[in-house]
Chains A and B, each alone.
Chain A
């Protein structure tokens, strides 16, 4: 998968708009997301951050009457093309959710399950260990692998969810406010983990916490309702994180990151 060398872009959106029925939730997003970088999506609540994120692995398919216009391109293939299989998309674009949602199975099975359904042929024990090491959880759980995942703490559960995601070896990981339900120490560990993960993966993270965005991300997309009175969100500014926080082009971004807005 890593063999066919491509430009530095992992994924790209072209005039992407997302609709729920007639309601346009997100309009005209154009972004080029760089490989092995962390891109944060920030903005006030209700502006469509999660909707945009969920468009990348076609999770919005489960919302009745939802559809998109425009394109999301991953190595030249439009994820919403007619010949594209959503299961394949999700296989190569993993996702970590806002609240930890381990399966009601053992810690081991939580990781092995996804690998198994995706046809993993290698050594499962090895894969479980590698994934848990990859999410910095191995040392804590190596002796209790057969215990229910529900016995772990919230932060551990979230790292388990990251472990099960990297076990299926996606190339992009989506994170939907992955630390919002966690305490500060667990949050820190997740943030450290993200820096570790970006050596191998492209990460897109939605967060409402601007400090977090500033700390962890390389690029930041600022989303906002596109005009006064409208309910459609759009990306109003997208550039290097440093720039967004120190020298934004858009007045609204400046107001938001300095706390004068919303």
Chain B
């Protein structure tokens, strides 16, 4: 039999001209649309939140002075001071960061500088489990474990709903995030820096704290910013444990409603669409979106810079 594979192909007709491939173009367009859709989502968020927030601020009763300079928030009865919601958000977030930053950073230092590979591979999944638990479960934990615990330590001054227990549990929730981002940053520090420090007669601790940690500081900073953003946007823990009702206070043992908790409570009921209560929620949500957006952007830029430094 004749082997056609081995024949000389030089006599075959050759056409190298560009061909239309309609299928390819259709698919590429569809893929492009999928990619661009994400931009539409952002635009939709800004548009929808902005539209309703604008309705809120266009209400003749609402003035920017009232919004930023008074301290009571009851849109239904004409009180438009945003501060009680903001202070509660700040207080719970500050407590959460106060818990999660030192613990998360310490855990990251242990994992990246001290733990053997074997220990690391058992300890990291535990942190991942902690990160995978739904926040509503943390809410249960805050209300039915942390609050009684705080009450047994600090006594009567701790209210049933209080910002401290919500904040602490939120800190536990954020801890894995800060630990894993910081660990990434610490591990990215080149080994040569550690060797340089060891060769100068530094102990492991001196190397970790005085050379590796400063070198990874921007990465740790990015972790901190993401942690703050997460704490500000977290809803279920504060909705369950922090209290229902705006309260202008920084006292962590008192009940106070955060921005997110307020949205959850008000929208949970049957809310009529054109009421001031409805539009006010969008104003609060818009603030929330903008604050977290700025924080996320900063953190991305910081991480990007950090990556460039060592690559």
A91 vs B197: C-alpha distance when bound (angstroms): 11
A237 vs B140: C-alpha distance when bound (angstroms): 73
Shortest CB-to-CB span from A262 to chain B, Å, is 27
> Are A87 and B203 in touch, CB under 8 angstroms?
yes
CB-CB < 8 A to B33: which residues of A? Answer: none
> Are B201 and A91 in touch, CB under 8 angstroms?
yes
| Total interface residues in chain B, CB < 8 Å | 19
Residue in chain B with minimal CB distance to A115: B200
Tell me the B110-163 residues at the A interface (CB within 8 Å).
116-117
> Are B198 and A114 in touch, CB under 8 angstroms?
no
Interface centre among B198, B201, B203 (most CB of A within 10 A): B201
Mask of A73-113 contacts with B, CB within 8 angstroms, 1/0: 00000000000000110110011010101111100000001
Interface centre among A103, A105, A164 (most CB of B within 10 A): A103
Tell me the B186-228 residues at the A interface (CB within 8 Å).
190, 192-193, 195-203, 206, 210-211, 214-215
> Are A114 and B200 in touch, CB under 8 angstroms?
yes
Question: Of B198, B201, B202, B215, which one neighbours A104 at CB under 8 angstroms?
Answer: B215
Question: Of B116, B195, B201, B210, which one neighbours A88 at CB under 8 angstroms?
Answer: B201
> Are A62 and B198 in touch, CB under 8 angstroms?
yes
A101 vs B193: C-alpha distance when bound (angstroms): 6
**A168/B192 contact (C-beta < 8 A), A104-B214, A105-B214, A117-B210 known:** no
Shortest CB-to-CB span from B310 to chain A, Å, is 10
A102 vs B215: C-alpha distance when bound (angstroms): 11
**In the complex, number of A-B residue pairs with CB atoms less than 8 Å apart:** 63
CB-CB < 8 A to B214: which residues of A? Answer: 103-105
Mask of A36-74 contacts with B, CB within 8 angstroms, 1/0: 000000000000000000000101001010000000000
> Are B116 and A64 in touch, CB under 8 angstroms?
yes
> Are B210 and A90 in touch, CB under 8 angstroms?
no
> Are B196 and A101 in touch, CB under 8 angstroms?
yes
Tell me the B209-253 residues at the A interface (CB within 8 Å).
210-211, 214-215
Complex A-B: 29 CB contacts under 8 Å: A59-B195, A59-B198, A62-B198, A64-B117, A87-B201, A88-B201, A90-B200, A90-B201, A91-B201, A95-B195, A95-B199, A97-B192, A97-B195, A97-B196, A101-B196, A104-B193, A105-B214, A113-B210, A113-B211, A114-B201, A114-B202, A117-B200, A117-B201, A117-B206, A161-B196, A165-B199, A165-B200, A168-B200, A168-B201
Other than the given A62-B198, A97-B196, 13 more pairs (CB < 8 A) read: A59-B195, A62-B195, A87-B201, A87-B203, A88-B201, A95-B199, A97-B192, A101-B196, A102-B196, A103-B211, A113-B200, A117-B202, A118-B201
Q: List residues of chain A with CB under 8 Å of any chain B CB.
A: 57, 59, 62, 64, 87-88, 90-91, 94-95, 97, 99, 101-105, 113-114, 117-118, 161, 164-165, 168
